[in-house]
Amino acid sequence: MPHNNTQSSSDWLELVRQKVQSLRFGVVQIVVHDSRVTQIERTEKTRLQSAQDGLES
């Protein structure tokens, strides 16, 4: 299967944009093999308000 660098580049860039835009707290990792993006991982964290923070409000 031929590899189209222009098309695949815009595809993974759009995926990264979507992952970042929908993320409030967390990490987006881009995995590269042989100079090509092969995987995009997203880890989302949920932050809870502490009891101390609630008392100060």
Has this prediction a pTM greater than 0.85? no
Dihedral, CA atoms, 14, 47, 31, 6, nearest 10 degrees?
Answer: 10
Residue 56 has pLDDT above 80, yes or no: no
Is the predicted pLDDT of residue 55 greater than 80, yes or no? no
Distance CA 33, CA 5 (A): 14
What's the pLDDT band for 2 if we cut at 50, 70, 90? very low
d(CA 34, CA 17) in angstroms, rounded, equals: 22
- pLDDT over 90 (residue 5): no
- The full set of domain ranges for the chain reads 5-45
